[in-house]
Amino acid sequence: MGSFYEESQMVVKRDAPIPPPLPTTARPGMAVLRRRSCRASASTTESWDRLFDDAYRADVSIYTSSDDIIYAHSSILGLASPVLRGMFKRQSKSKRFIVPIRGVPPEAVRVFIRFLYSSCYEEDQMEEHVMSLLVLSHSFVVPRLKRECEYQLETRYLNVDNVVDVFQLALLCDVPRLSIICHRLILKNFKAASLSEGWKAMKESHPILEKELLATVAYEANRQNEKVKKANERKVYLQLYEAMEALVHICRDGCRTIGPHDKLLNEHQEPCSYEACKGLESLVRHFAGCKLRVPGGCVHCKRMWQLLELHSRLCVDPNVCRVPLCKSFKEKTRRQKKKDDMMWRILVRKVLRTKSITGAPYFSLAASS
């Protein structure tokens, strides 16, 4: 029985078909697709390219900047571009249509017309003439090519050297997304962008646009400074709140070697969960033993007085609070000047809003009112 099983296994292995190769990204016609970007099949694209290259029964003559003539078919161009269709209607009496396309390189015009035939382009030609193609696609209302140029600029060809030129084209050609991307890149790399040849050309041809860009750069710099300033303020307010928590913790529960007289302390206990405890512990010890313990007499003591007063304004119930002088400071606030009292109230609100703990167990915004 065992020998029959082993024999059958050998037969299966011997007669098993050779497995197909693993799937790859290569497909028939992939050599063309690597060279070109095209959505149509290879045979269809080849037919349209032959029609364009051979100019069979072409009835349109396109004149470029170098006086080269590109021959094309009015029916195909008219279907692809409403602008060209309108030009042909105005010349409907003539048997041959004439279209001048100047101001861009002749090769860019050829790539543009070829795209109207087959919706394809060579990648190296796109890289070289992408800005000219963006202008042509906008001028002759060819949305497919315009979207493709926008995508290629956003993902591949946009850099610090050409960002100013692309930004101006994006504004002229009504490409808002691309203009925003360019604007952000200019702000991010302003020093390098302002030294580019595009910036120098813009300064001469569009001085108003340069002033607007400089204004936005100054605004962004101020905004970043304000952002950093507010972040630093929030950090200070957060530290104050943590100091208030640690002060209550020390005076109520005790921490390592310092705390209320009726608590049994152990300096070898687990590390304290309050980060501000260590610094506050040394400040409390200094405050307890300082001989200049009057407001303004010692810098450290002055800081301790301020922390105690801030706590009193945050404290919900001073009658049961174990923080020293809490009730005394509460009574002092009733006799305080209106201006000083308002400053303390603003500080309390900012501390609480930074931590977002209004109505928390320890402190309450209502306690400062």
From CA 343, how far away is CA 363, in angstroms rounded? 18
Rg (CA), the chain: 39
**DSSP string of 296-362, one letter each residue:** TT-HHHHHHHHHHHHHHHHBS-TTT--STTHHHHHHHHHTS-HHHHHHHHHHHHHHHHHHT-TT-SS
- Pick the range with the lowest mean pLDDT from 12-21, 249-258, 332-341: 12-21
- For residue 134, what pLDDT band results from cuts at 50, 70 and 90? very high
For residue 184, the model assigns a pLDDT of 94
For residue 177, the model assigns a pLDDT of 95
With a cut of 70, say whether residue 135 has pLDDT above it: yes
Average pLDDT, the chain: 81
State mean pLDDT over 154-173: 95
State mean pLDDT over 123-140: 95
State mean pLDDT over 6-23: 49
For residue 8, the model assigns a pLDDT of 43
From CA 30, how far away is CA 35, in angstroms rounded? 9
Sorted by where each starts, the structural domains of the chain and their CATH numbers stand as 37-149 (3.30.710.10), 229-262+271-354 (1.20.1020.10)
Among residues 252, 253, 274, 262, the alpha carbon closest in space to that of 322 is found at: 252
Beta-bridge mates of residue 258: 255
Contact 158, 150 (CB under 8 A): no
- For residue 223, what pLDDT band results from cuts at 50, 70 and 90? very high
State mean pLDDT over 290-306: 75
Query: Residue 270 burial (CB < 10 Å; 0-12/13-18/19+)?
Result: exposed
State mean pLDDT over 82-109: 91
From CA 166, how far away is CA 180, in angstroms rounded? 11
Contact 307, 247 (CB under 8 A): yes
With a cut of 90, say whether residue 130 has pLDDT above it: yes
From CA 175, how far away is CA 187, in angstroms rounded? 19
Query: Residue 128 burial (CB < 10 Å; 0-12/13-18/19+)?
Result: middle
With a cut of 90, say whether residue 260 has pLDDT above it: no
Q: Please list, in sequence order, all residues whose beta carbon lies within 8 angstroms of the beta carbon of residue 345, skipping any fewer than 6 positions away.
A: 313, 368, 369
pTM of the full predicted structure?
A: 0.64
How far separated are the first and last CA of the chain, in Å rounded?
95
- For residue 53, what pLDDT band results from cuts at 50, 70 and 90? confident
